[in-house]
């Protein structure tokens, strides 16, 4: 694309077509060429267009705000279904927690991306299949397959959200990476909103208590239960209308935490040896070990998801390589522990589910590490590692479908 930009530098129409084919790559290539380009009206225009940033907060149009308000109210009403219908909370929330948030976010991106009717029917059909299936399973709280289905169903709903996010170009790898970046940005801004909401809650309850009025029960049952589902919806709206709000915060957080997590992981592995704790005979420790693995893997993925927009330095890539290698080691320990438990105590749905997830994560990490090593040897940006992540995402969704729908049918409840 760099050569095409130089050749068509004085052709506004062809430059626009190049920009529309791959906006991120065009921006990176143009900025790399900007110092060598001669001063000119068209070059200056594109420089301003690609790099202009506004400090103003955009609140969008009235119809956008109306959609957010309606979606937030719908999410709150779904969360209040047990209070309206008399359903037991222990039955409703484990099965339907994902349906409180994900359908509203999916509807938002389906609307903003103006996706086709066929894809809308695919989304609606998937959501209806999920809600009918999970709620039709027998109420056996101690059932492993029921718990697994409830845990993996939100992953499937997250995949449906991703499908709406990347549409109509769902095969476009950069759109998939953009979806990961959106998740990182959403976590950051949702945390900020929750902190602000927590402060407001404390002040409100404290002020009313000074008047001798106890509003805690009413506040949490009718205000908080509507406000919490609204947080990711509002956060999504803010990140999409004002990408500059947290667009630079998430990469900074990833850069800060990557070396810290690497140090923590090494110290943790050493401490594990001396503590006598091991995931081979301690089931709860193995579960925490896998949770740690997923968290570290998420940091690696979020760090790479934004690397197409900013050139990573060699030390940053080197830290990601070390972090990936240590994570592979952690994954290997967890994997061997699962195989040990299967050989000692036999096959169970839990062990098969964890074994499958760990195998998928291990393969993904090995591929990502190989691409990072290749980028280091070639002195290039780790685009190959990003593409591996983007291509691999659907595999996690497929595994979630297998566990959610297949395990209850194979192993029973």
> What does the domain layout of the chain look like in residue ranges?
2-51, 62-241, 249-411
| pLDDT score recorded for residue 389 | 87
| pLDDT score recorded for residue 271 | 86
The answer to whether residue 310 scores a pLDDT higher than 60 is no
CB atoms within 10 A of CB 167: 20
pLDDT digits (tens, 9 = 90+) for 126-176: 999 999 999 999 988 888 999 999 999 999 999 999 999 998 877 778 888
The answer to whether residue 309 scores a pLDDT higher than 90 is no
Q: Which of 230, 238, 232 is nearest to 72 (CA)?
A: 230
Q: How would residue 41 be classed by pLDDT, with cut points 50, 70 and 90?
A: low
User: If 0-12 CB within 10 Å is exposed, 13-18 middle and 19+ buried, where does residue 18 land?
Assistant: buried
Average pLDDT over residues 258-270: 87
Residues with Cβ < 8 Å from 251, sequence gap 6 or more?
303, 306, 310
The answer to whether residue 276 scores a pLDDT higher than 60 is yes
Q: Which of 363, 387, 364 is nearest to 375 (CA)?
A: 387
**DSSP-assigned states of every residue in 186-215:** HHHHHHHHHHHHHHHHHHHHHHHHHTT---
pTM: 0.83
- The DSSP secondary-structure symbol of 313 reads P
| pLDDT score recorded for residue 23 | 65
| pLDDT score recorded for residue 25 | 67
Average pLDDT over residues 30-37: 66
Average pLDDT over residues 237-261: 78
| pLDDT score recorded for residue 388 | 87
* CA separation for the pair 144, 135 (Å, rounded): 16
| pLDDT score recorded for residue 312 | 64
pLDDT digits (tens, 9 = 90+) for 180-215: 889 988 998 999 999 999 999 999 999 999 988 899
Out of 23-37, 166-180, 250-264, which region has the weakest mean confidence (pLDDT)? Answer: 23-37
Bond prior to 65 in cis (omega within 30° of 0): no
| pLDDT score recorded for residue 235 | 93
Q: How would residue 307 be classed by pLDDT, with cut points 50, 70 and 90?
A: low
Higher pLDDT residue, 76 or 248?
76
Q: Which of 238, 249, 373, 239 is nearest to 317 (CA)?
A: 373
* CA separation for the pair 3, 16 (Å, rounded): 15
| pLDDT score recorded for residue 162 | 94
Q: How would residue 35 be classed by pLDDT, with cut points 50, 70 and 90?
A: low
pLDDT digits (tens, 9 = 90+) for 63-118: 888 999 999 999 999 999 999 898 999 999 999 999 999 999 999 999 989 899 99
* CA separation for the pair 330, 299 (Å, rounded): 15
* CA separation for the pair 348, 58 (Å, rounded): 52
Average pLDDT over residues 226-230: 94
Is the Cβ–Cβ distance between 251 and 306 less than 8 Å? yes
Instruction: Give the CB-side neighbour count of residue 259, counting CA atoms within 13 A.
Output: 8
Q: How would residue 42 be classed by pLDDT, with cut points 50, 70 and 90?
A: low
């Amino acid at each position: 694309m760099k050569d095409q930009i130089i050749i068509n530098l004085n052709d506004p129409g062809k430059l626009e077509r190049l920009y529309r084919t791959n906006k991120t790559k065009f921006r990176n290539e143009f900025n790399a060429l900007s110092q060598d380009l001669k001063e000119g009206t068209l070059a200056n225009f594109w420089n301003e267009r690609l790099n202009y940033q506004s400090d103003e907060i955009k609140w969008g149009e009235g119809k956008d705000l109306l959609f957010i308000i309606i979606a937030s109210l719908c999410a709150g009403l779904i969360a209040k279904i047990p209070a309206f219908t008399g359903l037991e909370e222990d039955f409703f929330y484990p099965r339907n927690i994902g349906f409180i948030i994900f359908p509203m976010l999916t509807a938002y991106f389906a609307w903003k991306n103006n996706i086709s009717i066929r894809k809308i029917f695919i989304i609606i059909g998937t959501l209806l299949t999920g809600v009918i299936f999970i709620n039709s399973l027998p109420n056996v709280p101690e059932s492993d397959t029921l718990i697994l289905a409830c845990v993996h169903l939100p992953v499937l709903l997250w995949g449906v959200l991703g499908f709406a996010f990347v549409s109509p170009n769902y095969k476009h790898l950069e759109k998939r990476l953009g979806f990961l970046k959106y998740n990182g940005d959403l976590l950051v801004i949702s945390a900020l909103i929750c902190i602000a909401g927590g402060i407001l809650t404390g002040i409100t309850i404290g002020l009313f208590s000074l008047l001798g009025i106890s509003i805690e029960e009413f506040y949490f049952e009718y205000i908080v239960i509507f406000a919490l589902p609204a947080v990711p919806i509002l956060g999504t709206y803010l990140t999409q209308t004002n990408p500059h709000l947290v667009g630079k915060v998430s990469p900074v957080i990833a850069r800060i935490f990557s070396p810290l997590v690497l140090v923590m992981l090494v110290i943790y592995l050493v401490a594990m040896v001396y503590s006598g704790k091991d995931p081979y005979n301690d089931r709860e420790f193995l579960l925490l070990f896998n949770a740690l693995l997923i968290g570290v893997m998420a940091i690696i993925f979020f760090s790479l998801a934004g690397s197409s927009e900013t050139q990573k330095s060699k030390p940053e890539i080197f830290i990601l390589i070390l972090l990936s290698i240590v994570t592979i080691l952690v994954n290997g320990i967890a994997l061997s522990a699962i195989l040990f438990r299967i050989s000692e105590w036999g096959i169970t749905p839990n062990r098969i589910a964890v074994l499958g997830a760990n195998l998928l994560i291990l393969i993904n990490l090995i591929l990502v590490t190989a691409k990072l090593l290749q980028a280091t040897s070639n002195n290039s940006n780790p685009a190959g590692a990003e593409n591996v992540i983007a291509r691999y995402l659907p595999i996690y969704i497929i595994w979630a479908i297998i566990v959610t729908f297949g395990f209850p049918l194979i192993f029973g409840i």
